[in-house]
Copies of this chain bind each other. A is one copy, B any other.
Amino acid sequence: VEPAVAPTDRTRIRRLPEKAVEDRAVMHAILDAAIVAHVGITVDTQPYVMPVGHARDGDRLLLHGSTGSRLFRTVVDGAPLCITVTLLDGLLVARSLFESSMHYRSVVVLGRGTALHGDAKSAALDVLADALLPGRRADARPPTRRELAATSVVAVPLEEWSVKVSAGEPEVVEEDEGWAPWTGLVPLRLTPGTPKTCEGNDPPAYVTTWQR
């Protein structure tokens, strides 16, 4: 079954619709490049937003966290979620303060989580581990039964989503006439530094070459 086509009326981009992107491959690439998602839940009428480690597995998004957390107790209950991923790509410096903004790529996913158990849960944890630090799983001690029991893993289908990409040049508008400051872009990137060793000798290649 083909997933529902995004965006729905709930996810349609209303602000700056020219920045809306409907290409599923772009959505996938943003989710894959991000290390952390911000997951929103509602408890009574109060929203809560928490950073959560995620990974994309085909057309679903995997989230994992502690079974003891309020967030995951709510998520495994199938509550409505909003999962937002934002990558900052630069400061866009326009002639005016109003037109100055950011280069960014963001995804908003609405949906509900399904808790995974047994082999499906173990397989999903492998996907999560491989997404964050490919190569590590062969070296690391695998989870014990107790650790598995302490971890919630949920899958959220990538069915209702929107993508926004801001990547253009600074806008020049009529009111800018007569103003000629420098304009341009300061690119931003989450950059790995030199690994710090706690145990062992030289870090393995999957650590020294890690990047996003």
Contact = CB atoms under 8 A, between A and B. Distances in A.
B184 A199 contact: yes
B46 A14 contact: no
Interface stretch (A25-33, A55-63, A187-195): A187-195
Contacts of A48: 40, 47, 82, 108
Given A140-B100, A191-B188, A198-B170, A84 B49 contact: yes
A200 interface: yes
Contacts of A210: 91, 186
Contacts of A197: 182-184
For A46, A93, A101, A151, the residue with the greatest tally of chain B CB atoms inside 10 Å of its CB is A93
Given A137-B97, A141-B95, A141-B176, A189 B191 contact: yes
Tallying the copies of this chain within the complex gives 2
Contact of A136 (B100, B141, B144): B100
A53, A97, A192: most-surrounded residue (chain B CB, <10 A): A97
Contacts of A181: 139-141, 200
Given A10-B46, A198-B185, A38 B38 contact: yes
B198 A46 contact: no
Contacts of A93: 133, 136, 207
Interface in A97-111: 97-98, 100-102, 104, 106, 108, 110
Contacts of A203: 182, 184
Contacts of A90: 193
A178 to B, nearest CB: 8
A42 B42 contact: yes
A15 B119 CA distance: 26
Contacts of A143: 96-98
A151 B106 CA distance: 21
A180 interface: yes
10 contacts: A15-B68, A36-B88, A42-B47, A50-B108, A100-B133, A183-B199, A183-B200, A184-B197, A184-B198, A189-B191
